[in-house]
Amino acid sequence: RLSPGPELTGFDFSAEMLREARRKFQELQKKHNLPDIGFEEGDAGDMPYDDGYFDAMGITFGLRNLVYENSRAGLHLSEMNRVLKPGGR
């Protein structure tokens, strides 16, 4: 359950996955009266957020794809750390 006030952002490199995420979220939003969240397409190695922008981050299946047999794994993990506030989760 979402508490009042958080800003949530879904981020993915795939426009198709973001469309599906929006569709599923809209169904849940209507059913449970949830606040809006943002969905943004982009590269996890170059996120369009300021340093320390997020209090917390969560990843579903994406971490496997970001690091497993990926020559840019270090870049992706560093970028996640950059946009996460110090002490963030």
pLDDT tens-place string over residues 51-89: 999 999 988 777 777 778 888 889 989 999 999 999 999
Q: Can you point out the beta strands (E) in 1-89?
A: 9-12, 38-41
Residue 3 reports pLDDT greater than 60: no
Please state the rounded mean pLDDT for residues 23-49: 94
Q: Whole-prediction pTM value?
A: 0.78
Residue 2 has a pLDDT of: 47
**Distance, CA of 70 to CA of 18 (rounded, Å):** 22
Residue 48 reports pLDDT greater than 90: yes
Residue 85 has a pLDDT of: 95
Strand partners, 40: 11
**Distance, CA of 57 to CA of 50 (rounded, Å):** 14
